[in-house]
Structure 1
Amino acid sequence: MAESNKNGATARLRNYFLAGVLITAPISITFWLTWRVITFIDDRITPIIPPQWNPESYLPFGVPGLGLIVALVALTLIGFLAAGYLGRVTMRIGERIVARVPVIRSVYSWTKQVFETVLSQSSAAFREVVLIEYPRPGCWAVGFITGTTVGEVQRLTAATVYNVFVPATPNPTTGFLLFVPKEDVHHLDLTVEEGIKLVISGGIVVPDQANFEGAEVDAAAKAQVAAQSDRAENVEGNGRKRRRRKQTQEPRSPGFITRLRNYFFAGILVTAPIAITVWLAWEFVAFVDGTVTPYIPAPWNPETYLPFSIPGLGVVIVVLGLIMIGFLTAGFVGRSLVSASERLLARMPVIRSLYSAVKQIFETVLKEQSRAFREVILFEYPRKNCWALGFITGPAEGGIQELTPDDTVNVFLPTTPNPTSGFLLFLPRRETQILSMTVEEGIKMVVSGGIVTPPDREVGDAAEPEESTPAPLAKSG
Structure 2
Amino acid sequence: MAKKPKKDMGILEVEKLPRVSAWAWLRARFFAGMVIALPIVVTFAILQFFINYIDQRVVPFLPESLRPETYLNYAVPGFGVIVLVLFLTILGAITTNLLGRSVVVITDRVLSQIPIVRTVYSSFKQLVDVFANNPTEQFRECVLIQFPREDSWCLGFVAAPARGEVRSHLSEEYIGVFVPTTPNPTSGFIMFVKAENTIKLHMSVEEGARMILSAGLVVPEHPDVQAAIDAANDRQPKSEAGEPSSPEPDAEPGHEPTQDPDLK
Quick check: TM above 0.5?
yes
| Cα drift, residue 315 of structure 1 | 1.8
**1:324 maps onto 2:90 in alignment:** yes
Identify the residue that residue 112 of structure 2 maps to in structure 1. 346
CA, structure 1 residues 287+434, in 2 after alignment: closer, same or farther (shift >3 Å)?
A: farther
Which amino acid letter does the alignment assign opposite residue 424 of structure 1? I
**1:451 maps onto 2:217 in alignment:** yes
**1:279 maps onto 2:40 in alignment:** no
Q: Deviations over 1:185-225 (max 9, x none)?
A: xxxxxxxxxxxxxxxxxxxxxxxxxxxxxxxxxxxxxxxxx
| Cα drift, residue 304 of structure 1 | 2.5
| Mapped partners of 2:133, 2:96: distance in 1 | 15
Identify the residue that residue 121 of structure 2 maps to in structure 1. 355
TM-score of the two chains, using structure 1 as the length reference: 0.42
| Mapped partners of 1:296, 1:375: distance in 2 | 44
CA, structure 1 residues 449+371, in 2 after alignment: closer, same or farther (shift >3 Å)?
A: same
For residue 203 of structure 2, give the secondary structure of its aligned residue in structure 1: coil
Identify the residue that residue 251 of structure 1 maps to in structure 2. 17
Identify the residue that residue 396 of structure 1 maps to in structure 2. 162
Which amino acid letter does the alignment assign opposite residue 385 of structure 1? D
| Cα drift, residue 457 of structure 1 | 4.1
Is the 1:415–1:421 Cα contact (8 Å) retained in structure 2? yes
For residue 208 of structure 2, give the secondary structure of its aligned residue in structure 1: helix
| Cα drift, residue 337 of structure 1 | 0.6
CA, structure 1 residues 437+326, in 2 after alignment: closer, same or farther (shift >3 Å)?
A: farther
Which amino acid letter does the alignment assign opposite residue 132 of structure 2? L
| Cα drift, residue 460 of structure 1 | 5.3
Is the 1:395–1:409 Cα contact (8 Å) retained in structure 2? yes
User: Superposed, which structure 2 residues align to 1:42-441 within 5 Å?
Assistant: 249-441=15-207
Unaligned runs of 5+ in 1: 1-247, 463-477
Is the 1:413–1:423 Cα contact (8 Å) retained in structure 2? yes
CA, structure 1 residues 272+444, in 2 after alignment: closer, same or farther (shift >3 Å)?
A: same
TM-score of the two chains, using structure 2 as the length reference: 0.73
| Cα drift, residue 314 of structure 1 | 1.8
For residue 175 of structure 2, give the secondary structure of its aligned residue in structure 1: strand
Is the 1:371–1:392 Cα contact (8 Å) retained in structure 2? no
Number of matched residues? 215
| Mapped partners of 1:396, 1:327: distance in 2 | 37
Unaligned runs of 5+ in 2: 1-13, 229-264
| Mapped partners of 1:297, 1:287: distance in 2 | 19
Identify the residue that residue 247 of structure 2 maps to in structure 1. none
| Mapped partners of 2:149, 2:188: distance in 1 | 17
For residue 277 of structure 1, give the secondary structure of its aligned residue in structure 2: helix
CA, structure 1 residues 319+457, in 2 after alignment: closer, same or farther (shift >3 Å)?
A: farther
For residue 366 of structure 1, give the secondary structure of its aligned residue in structure 2: helix
| Cα drift, residue 276 of structure 1 | 1.2
CA, structure 1 residues 311+370, in 2 after alignment: closer, same or farther (shift >3 Å)?
A: same
Return the structure number with greater helix share. Answer: 1
For residue 420 of structure 1, give the secondary structure of its aligned residue in structure 2: coil
| Cα drift, residue 405 of structure 1 | 4.2
| Mapped partners of 1:430, 1:371: distance in 2 | 21
For residue 320 of structure 1, give the secondary structure of its aligned residue in structure 2: helix
Is the 2:144–2:198 Cα contact (8 Å) retained in structure 1? yes
Is the 1:455–1:461 Cα contact (8 Å) retained in structure 2? no
Greater relative contact order (Cα 8 A, min sep 6): structure 1 or 2?
Answer: 1
| Mapped partners of 1:257, 1:356: distance in 2 | 60
Between the aligned residues of both structures, percent identity stands at 37
| Mapped partners of 1:435, 1:366: distance in 2 | 26
| Cα drift, residue 394 of structure 1 | 2.8
| Cα drift, residue 422 of structure 1 | 1.8
Q: Deviations over 1:269-303 (max 9, x none)?
A: 12222221111111121122222221122222223
| Cα drift, residue 456 of structure 1 | 2.9
CA, structure 1 residues 428+296, in 2 after alignment: closer, same or farther (shift >3 Å)?
A: farther
Which amino acid letter does the alignment assign opposite residue 293 of structure 1? V
Larger Rg: 2
| Mapped partners of 2:79, 2:167: distance in 1 | 47
Which amino acid letter does the alignment assign opposite residue 99 of structure 2? V
